[in-house]
Amino acid sequence: MIIMRSDVGIIEDSCSDECRKGQMMGNGNASTQDRSTYPSVKDLTLEEKASLTSGADAWHLQGVESKGIPGYMITDGPHGLRKARGADQEETSTGETDLGDSVPATCFPPAAGLSSSWNPDIVRRVGVAMGEECIQEKVAVILGPGVNIKRNPLGGRCFEYWSEDPYLAGHEAVGIVEGVQSRGIGTSLKHFAVNNQETDRLRISANVSQRALREIYFPAFEHIVKTAQPWTVMCSYNRINGVHSAQNQWLLTDVLRGEWGFQGIVMSDWGADHDRVASLNAGLNLEMPPSGTDDEIVYAARDGRIRPEQLDRMAQGMIDLVSKARPAMSREGYRYDVAAHHEVAREAARESIVMLKNDDGADGDAILPVKPGASIAVIGEFARTPRYQGGGSSHITPTRMTSFLDALAERGIAADFAPGFTLDLEPADPALEQQAVAAARGADVVLMFLGLPEAAESEGFDRTSLDIPAKQIELLREVAAANPNVAVVLSNGSVVSIAPWAQHAKAILESWLLGQAGGAALADVIFGDVSPSGKLAQTIPLDINDDPSMVNWPGEEGHVDYGEGVFVGYRYYDTYRKAVDYPFGFGMSYARFAISDVQVAKTGANTARVTATVRNTSGVDGAETVQVYVAPGKAAVARPAHELKGFVKVFLKAGEAAQVAIDLDERAFAYWSEKYNDWHVEAGEYGIEVGTSSRDIAATVPVNLDGDGKTLPLTEWSSFGEWEADPFGAQVVAAVERAGEEGTLPKLPDTDMMRMFLKSMPINSMPMLMAADGKQITAFMLDAYARLTQHAHPDA
């Protein structure tokens, strides 16, 4: 995408200097290197090959030191480095996992927040920083990003995933892969695939249609694989349509490698490999952690259950992986810039904050930003003890931690603080509540920090409600009664209910989980140093039961049916015109923007370029995200009302304007056809919607596409309507009509009712409608079609 600034007349692309450095360095793909410079699988014994397909311990690859193959370390991510203390010491590498004791590393905003930045450039910069920290800590592969779809906001791991929309998830998270790998460190794209809940996650079968897989659950993985070639992909725990991901050859080999061209290795999630032989045959290179069953691979290779070339491919992949990491792992004495990385975390956190509401205060001006000299009450334990990351395997020990109270102290701003409640699920403390109300009563503005304590959401379990703990909401009511000038700051890893209490707040900031610099970033926004620019990557519903997946959530008897198909998130809400609290893509700013001059030009039979002008019409600097949605016209299948297919975030000074251009490729207009087992673009008119959320559309411009011309051979089982719609079939139907008029064939039914029945009927059922006449017409149609297609394709 291109941004053209009208004030200076220059064109910028959206790739930063760090991005270009990464492009120049490349992905370090060993397949493009001279393999004579490092060991080959041909140099190994059968036992050594087998050993490479399992880890040495919980955090190390298996090496073969005698053959020059090191056993490098891999560690958890995905929003920073979680390297267990002592994991690089032999005596502590026992395979045990201590989630609470890790070396200090920068805690960047988890995906729940970073996804709301809608800024691939800042995501890429985070990736670069993570890669640099891996070099210092001698970590060859960091496990992330996780790009599973937020199918349901109750999912316990939503904080770690990017969006309900696959386009947004893929086009943001690719920055992590590009950034990390630009530093010669590998990433692990996870969890492939359809890992959308924590309930029974180790064994549940996600039963999902091929179309939903291709349109919703695969595209983020596909885009990142094709664009950035992650060094590794991690398979998920769950089964997909009955088959464990680790043993799914269609998933790991046919699709991932065969269709998408993946060149790296596939590893299991920790404990997801239940059959070493079946998994290796399916395309799994690496079992993690080791189960001590390398002999199973050796025996299977000897008795023919594993083909020699398959074992060689899987083992060579592991050799290639360590060879790619060797330059970075050979750097001695490298130290990353801790302060600079903290600043990147702060910038990322600023852009992650979404302003949902900003009404006028007592003086008639918007309550935010807080005016200089205003007396401030800060209420809520989250302001002192921030919840800045999710719980579970991604839990990081930060290099430093800045709470909002810390940020106030650094700015020299006095405030009356009252914790108001405890960060647990225990009943309210009346003394804390009274203190909070008293603090609020005398302030010009109340900044109230609410949210979900860690006990309410974490890896390992799904939530059962969208509600914030009741004691917090009751305190909000009491505080608002004492002082109506309340701005609420939320801390949560997935959406929470807002409508039940929104009337008690004049401003609402959704800050998600902001990482270690979140307190300073919030102060930057609250005091107006920067304008909020985040946009929702998830719809906020009015009620969890409005979500279409709730009919089958979280499943039963070992399976969960994805009955909503492709209608996930806004694709459902907007198609069926369901009321929501805040729509996908929504987010307010202190600045005001206008989008104009929207134009769409065809660039090919099924491609187009969208251009528009976005102008900052206010006196405040800020950023707007221009979003492009494609709205299909009449379609042969049920399609969402519109789908996000492009976006660009534009930073504009007060009064400045810029022209943006977004290209739409053929895939932007396609749906996955189970009939063709392929992507299909229908001919016809499509609406190109340009706006600032899925429900704030500034302009819609039609474009007519030629379609891809795909057809299937017609048979006696094709309906009469399918014959009419097919280019050759239509000629045959016309011949039948003519022959009927000439009297050489019986006439087709001519009443509307009979033609309605005929249209949906396979032509071999025409005798049911027309007796012997129908049989004669069927025979004529099949014969005429055969002659027509043979003439058109004589070599077929």
Q: Do β-strands 139-143 and 73-76 pair in parallel, antiparallel, or remain unpaired? A: parallel
> CB–CB of 192/256 below 8 Å?
yes
Average confidence score pLDDT of the chain: 93
What pLDDT band is residue 96 in, cutting at 50, 70 and 90?
Answer: low
Provide φ and ψ at 338, rounded to 5°: -60, -45
What pLDDT band is residue 98 in, cutting at 50, 70 and 90?
Answer: low
Provide φ and ψ at 16, rounded to 5°: -80, 175
Confidence (pLDDT) at 89? 63
Confidence (pLDDT) at 100? 65
Confidence (pLDDT) at 9? 30
Q: What is the CA radius of gyration of the chain?
A: 29
- In one letter, which amino acid is 301? A
Question: Which of 83, 72, 97 shows the shortest CA–CA distance to 185?
Answer: 72
* Percent of the chain surpassing pLDDT 70: 93
What pLDDT band is residue 99 in, cutting at 50, 70 and 90?
Answer: low
Choosing from 269, 273, 416, 547, the catalytic residue is 269
- Tokens 């205060």: give the residue: 361
What pLDDT band is residue 355 in, cutting at 50, 70 and 90?
Answer: very high
pLDDT tens digits, residue range 498-532?
999 999 999 999 999 999 999 999 999 999 999 99
Confidence (pLDDT) at 425? 87
pLDDT tens digits, residue range 253-268?
999 999 999 999 999 9
First to last CA, the chain: 43
Mean pLDDT across the stretch 545-561? 96
Q: Is the pLDDT of residue 556 over 50?
A: yes
Question: Which of 478, 470, 469, 468 shows the shortest CA–CA distance to 540?
Answer: 468
Confidence (pLDDT) at 364? 75
Separation between Cα atoms, residue 526 and residue 598, nearest integer Å: 33
Instruction: State the CB neighbour count (10 A cutoff) for residue 4.
Output: 16
> CB–CB of 512/468 below 8 Å?
no
- In one letter, which amino acid is 293? T
* Percent of the chain surpassing pLDDT 90: 87
* DSSP run (H or E) holding 788: helix 772-792
pLDDT tens digits, residue range 28-71?
444 444 555 678 999 999 999 999 999 999 999 999 999 999 99
C-alpha dist (Å) from residue 230 to 125, 391, 440, 595 = 17, 25, 51, 36
Q: Lowest-confidence range among 13-22, 475-484, 685-694?
A: 13-22
Q: Residue 277: CB partners within 8 Å, gap ≥ 6?
A: 296, 297, 300, 305, 306
Mean pLDDT across the stretch 748-753? 90
pLDDT tens digits, residue range 234-256?
999 999 999 999 999 999 999 99
Q: Lowest-confidence range among 34-43, 80-89, 763-772?
A: 34-43
Say whether 750 is catalytic: no
Instruction: State the CB neighbour count (10 A cutoff) for residue 476.
Output: 23
What pLDDT band is residue 91 in, cutting at 50, 70 and 90?
Answer: very low
Question: Which of 114, 14, 16, 80 shows the shortest CA–CA distance to 534?
Answer: 114
Confidence (pLDDT) at 435? 98
Q: Is the pLDDT of residue 483 over 60?
A: yes
- In one letter, which amino acid is 377? A
Provide φ and ψ at 37, rounded to 5°: -90, -5
Mean pLDDT across the stretch 355-374? 90
> CB–CB of 145/177 below 8 Å?
yes
Q: What is the pTM of this model?
A: 0.93
Confidence (pLDDT) at 39? 86
- Tokens 């309340």: give the residue: 486
Mean pLDDT across the stretch 383-400? 89
Confidence (pLDDT) at 235? 98
- In one letter, which amino acid is 370? V
Separation between Cα atoms, residue 28 and residue 23, nearest integer Å: 10
Mean pLDDT across the stretch 152-169? 96
Mean pLDDT across the stretch 192-216? 96
Report the interhelical angle of 166-181 vs 120-136 (nearest 10°): 40
Q: Is the pLDDT of residue 300 over 70?
A: yes
Mean pLDDT across the stretch 87-106? 66
Confidence (pLDDT) at 617? 98
| Chain centre distance of CA 198 | 17
* Token pair belonging to 1: 């995408």
Mean pLDDT across the stretch 275-287? 98
